Chain A
Amino acid sequence: MTMLTASRRTEIAEPDSRPDAGGPRPSKTISDRIGWSRFGAITRYYPVLMLFILWEILSQLHLLDPMFMPPLEDVARTFYKEVFVTHELLDHLQMSVMRAAAGLGLATVVGIAVGIMMGRVRAIESFLDPLISALFPTPKLALFPLIMIFLGIGDASKIALIFLGCFFPITINTYSGVKNVDKFYIWNARTKGANGRQLVWHVIIPAALPFVFAGLRVATSTAFLLIVASELIAANDGLGYLIMFAERSFDPALMWCGILLIAGMGFTVDRLLLALGARLFAWQDS
């Protein structure tokens, strides 16, 4: 349940955005039809734009130490070079995304399966519940040195770390979602002839899906955190490595490229998940 409140908090941070579980938008207005709402989504983030402008002004006034914060145009120039000329940034991005996706994907599949089994089978529940309660609060990053002993410093250890970090929020949310399914939905389905498998597939999963989704959002941000952290600690590629490498070779513009890219990616993925949730859960009461 802590996961749910955590995801709520990120929603509250965007007062204009509808909650991920929100219903369909009200009927189309004129401004919707000519695409103003899309424009509005951009203008909503004007404070971010202001921050960038402030950055640039302060740099021009030489109020920022260029060793920490180079002028924004330097960052932009480096970004352009790294993306379109040397493609180096893209290679690092690809490595990070691959690792994060593998760990997160694995955690999603296993986490949902384990969560459903915990919610449905008493023996599995009573066995795993104390284990998960005990392991969940442990910062998974603390296990990274140990994981590296077993899996080396390559992809495997990073994927395993991300898997561990994402597994818990997804499992716990799925489990509480399954436990929360209204008894009367289950009764109704059973009197309409649903067998055990159909019950899980047609009632338990759709009813628990909003919970699963909330867990998935938390897991996604955890994956971003862990990919950067593990690449900062030990890696030869990836965005975390790039940030560390740039810092050590006194290239703050390159470092900021890495930071902004990872921030932009986290933001984009979260927005995509929100949009997907709004579409999937159009049936819910807002």
Chain B
Amino acid sequence: MNGTMVAAKPADVAKADPVHVDMRGVTQRYRTGRRGDLLALDRVDLQARRGEFVSIVGPSGCGKSTLLYIVAGLLEASEGEVLVDGKKIDGPDPERGLVLQNSSIFPWRTVEENVAFGPQMAGVAANKRRTLTKHYLEMVGLEKFAAFYPRELSGGMKQRIAIAQMLACGPSLFLMDEPFGALDSLSREVLQDQLLQLWERDRKTVLFVTHSIDEAVLLSDRVVVMSPLPGRVKEIVPIDLPRPREEARASQAFGQLRNHIWAAIRQETMEAIG
């Protein structure tokens, strides 16, 4: 079994859909004063095809979130470049939607106003905004909570609002930084299923950072395993489980994939801890 899960070859990446996101030699260095620089990311080459679900897993401090923020255009890489649809990115863009771990939705806006944020910034008229908002709130099943403030909602609901807020901007690429990381395991499974349904319907490209191997295997077409300090791509594991995946959690192949990835991360983590 392990033999089939070697790192993806370039030919494998180019096979079906065109490359959507192309990270080329992305390197990130942080100045840490006298002790010299900290190398957070070291020449990361990674591609995602259009409509592909790619998860990035690795121990804490492997720079996986940093990589995502670079693709979002929020951080500038020290070296290397990121191409989206063949064009070099320059700053953030609503085309590249971002969902963060801890609710980054705005507490001073109601649920409805939060979802309408992107369209409002783009100058969409108020009545059209209302229709859009209603649509996306229904999609995440929270239309009853339109007038609520975020503090009145559970963690899972807040993350669904964050997803609806991103969807309302109409992005073609979803960047998700441990979006379910702060949730209890029940909410987490429900939201994973909802995200799967959403993805299977629209087939947008997703870069999904997580520290949960189960989550990565369940959701992804490919799982990128990163090594810590400096962050490098250690292995890329294609997940060939049949879709829809909701039932896949209990299957034997699921367990084997999970164990394989866990073995890779464990070794890296042990090395990092020393």
**A-to-B contact residues, CB < 8 Å:** 23, 182, 184-185, 187-195, 198, 202-203, 206-207, 209, 282-285
Contacts and interface: CB of A to CB of B under 8 A. Distances in A.
20 contacts: A184-B100, A184-B104, A187-B98, A188-B104, A188-B106, A189-B106, A190-B92, A191-B92, A191-B93, A191-B94, A191-B98, A191-B175, A192-B94, A192-B165, A192-B166, A193-B94, A198-B121, A206-B109, A207-B106, A285-B107
A188 B98 contact: yes
B74 A284 contact: no
B109 to A, nearest CB: 8
Contacts of B165: 188, 192
Contacts of B150: 283
Interface string B93-129: 1101110101011111100000001101110000000
B117 A191 contact: no
B149 interface: yes
Identify the 6 closest CB pairs spanning chains A and B, nearest first. A193-B94, A188-B104, A192-B118, A191-B98, A184-B104, A206-B108
B74 A187 contact: yes
Interface residues of B, number: 32
Contacts of A184: 100, 102, 104
B72 interface: yes
B267 to A, nearest CB: 32
B223 interface: no
B52 to A, nearest CB: 20
A23 B169 CA distance: 30
Nearest to B150: A283
B88 interface: no
B159 to A, nearest CB: 13
A189 B108 CA distance: 13
Given A191-B72, A193-B169, 15 more contacts: A187-B72, A187-B92, A187-B98, A191-B175, A192-B121, A192-B169, A193-B118, A194-B117, A194-B121, A202-B117, A202-B121, A207-B108, A283-B108, A283-B151, A284-B151
Contacts of B100: 184, 187-188
Given A184-B102, A184-B104, A283-B151, A191 B121 contact: no
Nearest to B165: A192
A282 B122 contact: no
Contact of B149 (A192, A203, A282): A282
Interface string B147-185: 001110000000000100110010000010000000000
A282 to B, nearest CB: 7
Of A190, A203, A206, A209, most buried by chain B (CB within 10 Å of CB) is: A190
B97 A191 contact: yes
A194 B117 CA distance: 9
A209 B73 CA distance: 28
Contacts of A202: 117, 120-121
Contacts of B106: 185, 188-189, 203, 206-207
A214 to B, nearest CB: 16
Contacts of A194: 117, 121
A283 B109 CA distance: 8
B121 A23 contact: no
Contacts of A198: 121
A165 to B, nearest CB: 30
Contacts of B118: 192-193
Contact of B74 (A23, A190, A206, A207): A190
A39 B162 CA distance: 43
Contacts of B175: 191
Nearest to A207: B108
A237 to B, nearest CB: 43
A19 to B, nearest CB: 15
Contacts of B117: 189, 192, 194, 202
B100 to A, nearest CB: 5
Contacts of A185: 104, 106
Contacts of A283: 107-109, 149-151
Contacts of A282: 149
Contacts of B166: 191-192
A137 to B, nearest CB: 32
Of B69, B105, B117, most buried by chain A (CB within 10 Å of CB) is: B117
